[in-house]
Amino acid sequence: MSIFITRETRVLVQGITGKEGSFWTGHMIDMGTNVAAGVTPGKEGQSVFGRPVYHTVRRAVAEHEAGSPPCSLFHRVLPGCGFEALDSGIKKIVTIADGIPLHEMVQIRAAAKVEGALVVGGNTSGCISPGEAMLGMFPYWIDRVYRKGTIGIMTRSGSLTNEVTAMVVQAGFGVSTLMGIGGDPVPGTRFAEMLPFYEADPETEAVVIIGELGGTMEEEVAEAVEAGIFTKPLAAFLGGRTAPKGKRMGHAGAIVSGGRGTVEGKVKALESVGAAVADRPSKVGLFLRNLLDRGLTY
């Protein structure tokens, strides 16, 4: 089952009237997402795909007949978007926007913890549970890559997500829930913080993480496995193996610092707790199959 959104989850889109906001709202609706309303300051009274638009999140929550949408998505970097959603009682927030000021994202993450909310992103494609709902930006050929199944996926990358997931599907599997953690230096939610949700989901048989150099999220996954927080089979692919030493590559969060964050160190940490780490995307499906069949060791 989905660990984040289902067909019943009511979604509020912040920035719904913009070019990107309206485009992806239509796509989300096509994929079965229950978009209840939208918010764009100064545009109240308009509608997008039949969904009413409000000035503020609080006003949408108070006046929309569906009640308080439990999930919010914002596309644009606007001062206070995340805080507005949290202040209005939203407990699940996906931040597609990248370039969120570092100090603001630190504050949003801290505020979310206080409110018992889950913030995913920024700089993410979003999340999807095939056959249920999609929240974010996934392409129209999505049904050829994202098929319903029992493999959970967590990712820091947008482009690699499609490639690796295609290899998982090609190996005969499907996806339970894919969570785009995002590529910014301070994500609202980290890999290890999502693991308990996958662990508790009876329909998630195994998890694949798509990581990269920089930061410590992959090492934190290894620590969670070692601590017994996550016990299901785990496979991974890490981008940035050939990146020049000391260079930031791609995402703002992809930088090695303090002696941690190298791909070599991440691979060693993950393999030490039994994870199968592929050296190329084309091997992920095979490694996953071997893990579940209790076949090859790595």
Question: Does pLDDT of 298 surpass 60?
Answer: no
Contacts of 243-246 with CB under 8 Å at 24 or more apart are 243/213
Q: Is the peptide bond before 122 cis (omega within 30 degrees of 0)?
A: yes
Determine the pLDDT at residue 296: 39
Same fold, 10-121 and 145-292: yes
Distance CA 129, CA 94 (A): 14
What digits encode the pLDDT tens for the residues 261-293? Answer: 789 999 999 999 999 999 999 999 999 999 998
pLDDT in tens, 116-165: 999 999 899 999 999 999 999 988 677 778 899 999 999 998 889 999 99
pLDDT reported for residue 97: 85
**Residue 76 has what pLDDT?**
67
Region 212-216: what's the mean pLDDT? 89
**What crossing angle do the helices spanning 217-226 and 191-200 adopt, rounded to 10°?**
40
pLDDT at site 217? 95
Q: Is 169 helix (H, G, I), strand (E, B) or coil?
A: helix
Range 48-54 contact pairs with CB under 8 angstroms and sequence separation of 24 or more: 48/13, 48/16, 48/17, 48/21, 48/22, 49/22, 49/25, 51/13, 51/16, 51/25, 53/16, 53/17
Catalytic residue among 27, 55, 75, 251: 251
Domain limits of the chain?
Answer: 10-121, 145-292
pLDDT in tens, 75-106: 666 668 899 999 999 999 999 988 888 899 99
Q: Model confidence over 216-269: pLDDT tens digits?
A: 999 999 999 999 999 999 999 999 876 666 655 555 555 555 556 789 999 999
Instruction: Give the residue among 131, 126, 161, 125 at the shortest CA–CA distance from 143.
Output: 131
Q: Provide the pLDDT for residue 218.
A: 96
pLDDT score, position 297: 36
Instruction: State the pLDDT at residue 66.
Output: 54
Pair type for strands 126-129 and 133-136: antiparallel
Q: pLDDT tens digits for 176-190?
A: 999 999 988 899 999
Q: Which runs of E-coded beta strand occur in the chain?
A: 10-14, 34-39, 47-48, 51-54, 71-74, 92-95, 118-121, 126-129, 133-136, 148-155, 175-180, 206-212, 234-239, 276-278
Q: What pLDDT is stored for residue 247 in this prediction?
A: 58
Is the per-residue pLDDT at 31 higher than 80?
yes
Res 256: pLDDT = 53
What is the share, in percent, of the chain residues with pLDDT greater than 70?
88
64 tagged catalytic: no
Which fold does the domain 145-292 belong to in CATH? Answer: Rossmann fold (3.40.50)
- Write out the CATH class of domain 10-121: alpha beta
